[in-house]
Structure 1
Amino acid sequence: MTTPFFQHMPIVKPYALMDLDDTLFQTLRKIEQWQLLKQLPNKNLTIASVNKQGEPLSFFSQKQANFFNWLSQSCELIPVTARDSNEIKRVKLPFDSWQILTHGAILLEPNGRRNPIWQQQMFEKLTPLQNDLTLLQNVLEQHSQTHDLGLVFSLHNDNFVDGNCYQNLKIYLAIKHRQKDEKILQDIAYNLANILKDNLPNFNQNFYIHVNANNLAILPNAIHKRHAVAFLLKQLDNNRPYFGFGDSLADLLFLQQLDWYGTPNHGQLHDKICQICHD
């Protein structure tokens, strides 16, 4: 049945699939870098996340806080984040729907349970790559020490279901520069295949690289926000609108699966769009 013209209907909440860091909130360093408070009359900041010691780490501007307040009350808000199951606990925001964590490796249901089907799929994909992930870290740590690059490494891991048992598996390798020299990370990413050629000649068949500011992540091909979002959309009500926001080029691949998407007026994706427009 159709009607010839639009008529007001009861409001149906859309799904909002949202990247978190640098999309909804950011550190003080990024606030200054992006001049987010420059033209705002109210320069008060609201704490969005804390560090491991419980100290304030990331913040909303007043405009961002208003945006999140609207999102959380008007939409079913679904975080889609690189944060893992421990890091998400340091985000002090009310999430009560699905959550996509660790670049898509973890999918939490609204009740907080890990989706068993997705868990099993990730277990099967990650198990064959455990030795390669350890080798990746060892080779790159040695390279950093040899060339005095000042890199900091963290191998993210989590528990995955194997039948009726849980097994702790490595997921991906994260690298930061201690002094936040982003060029060094970009050089590492550009030369990674050459650095690994003697140890992991099949690197490109099993892994990909994500670089954004002072974050370099080396991830298995099976671990990506877009894969988890594609799986999740099949679980959701297709009659409800999907929209979302993200700041990185990697986010674009999950955003393109939604009905509408956008990006803040700062960050990697925004800069790339501006570059294309200017060219």
Structure 2
Amino acid sequence: MKKFLFADLDDTLFQTLEKCATRDALEPAAYYSNGSICSYTTAAQRAFFAFASEGMTVIPTTARSLDAFRRVELGFTSYVVLNFGGVILQPDGTIDRDWQGQMHALMTAALPGLQQLASRIDAWADKTGYGGRARLVEDAGTPFFIVIKDPDKVALNLERVEREAVLPWIADEGRDYCVHRNGNNLAILPRALDKAEAVRYVTERLRREHGDIVTFGMGDSRSDARFMADCDYAIIPRRTQLAKLTVEAL
């Protein structure tokens, strides 16, 4: 029976230098568009990836865009889930057009709400003197979500943005949208954009191709929990947001 691991990337299989618990035996894993190193793997992460790759097929399941994924140097050979589930790559690297057509229709319908919220966030920033701005993330010709990063990389500043500018809008007008905040990333997504839906789609494809399969889900964030819950087994790296909410809390 074939085994497949749906794995988040950032803060799961690698992380930025600032988030590395130790600086020993680090190796580059991902790069910025200018060619400088973005993220690193530890020796333990490389050992885990080698172990997983020997017994199962690893399927990246990430918020990264197509361009950002192409700057990851780990080596994958199967399906890929990008943009929180908005884009699926087939094993040959081409975009799954059936899935893309579905998502494009859903995201186009959600775009006016994202634009409205982005304007609200920027107006709040102007009023309060906050230095961050809302950015609409688009990929493969489709708008997907809004992201705000604190210019000073202070996570608590994003908590204020969420509390004062985002949550009141969601409560009043944006009930079809949800918030994902982890570290220096605050993202607002249409509820129709969900890694779990993309993982279900790919899982059904894999079952048609291989018959009975076993699935594993791995991620660091509470937003990963939804797709991990649909897998047969879940793997949570320690010292992550999801670990703090689950096994470490117990």
**Do the structures match in fold with TM over 0.5?**
yes
- What amino acid is aligned across from residue 234 of structure 2 in structure 1? Y
* Compared CA separation, residues 152 and 44, structure 1 to 2 (3 A): farther
For residues 52 and 101 of structure 1, the distance between their equivalents in structure 2, rounded to whole angstroms, comes to: 17
Identical residues among aligned pairs (%):
30
- Secondary structure of the 1:226 match is helix
- Secondary structure of the 1:178 match is coil
Match of residue 29, structure 1, among 5, 18, 23: 18
Which residue of 2 is the match for residue 203 of structure 1?
A: 174
CA apart distance, 1:147: 0.9
The normalised TM-score by structure 2 is 0.92
Which residue of 2 is the match for residue 190 of structure 1?
A: 163
- Secondary structure of the 2:206 match is coil
- What amino acid is aligned across from residue 235 of structure 1 in structure 2? R
Which residue of 2 is the match for residue 213 of structure 1?
A: 183
CA apart distance, 1:172: 0.4
* Compared CA separation, residues 274 and 73, structure 1 to 2 (3 A): closer
For residues 187 and 107 of structure 2, the distance between their equivalents in structure 1, rounded to whole angstroms, comes to: 16
Q: CA RMSD in A?
A: 1.7
**Greater radius of gyration (CA):** 1
- What amino acid is aligned across from residue 136 of structure 1 in structure 2? L
Gaps of 5+ in 1: 1-11, 38-42, 160-167
CA apart distance, 1:201: 3.8
Query: Is 2:226 the partner of 1:226?
Result: no
Query: Is 2:124 the partner of 1:153?
Result: no
Preserved CA contact (<8 Å) 2:60 2:80: yes
CA apart distance, 1:132: 2.2
For residues 115 and 240 of structure 2, the distance between their equivalents in structure 1, rounded to whole angstroms, comes to: 31
For residues 222 and 70 of structure 1, the distance between their equivalents in structure 2, rounded to whole angstroms, comes to: 34
The normalised TM-score by structure 1 is 0.83
For residues 125 and 149 of structure 2, the distance between their equivalents in structure 1, rounded to whole angstroms, comes to: 11
For residues 213 and 62 of structure 2, the distance between their equivalents in structure 1, rounded to whole angstroms, comes to: 22
Give CA deviations for 1:154-185 in whole Å, capped at 9, x if unaligned: 211123xxxxxxxx231100111011111121
For residues 243 and 25 of structure 2, the distance between their equivalents in structure 1, rounded to whole angstroms, comes to: 25
Match of residue 75, structure 1, among 53, 56, 81: 56
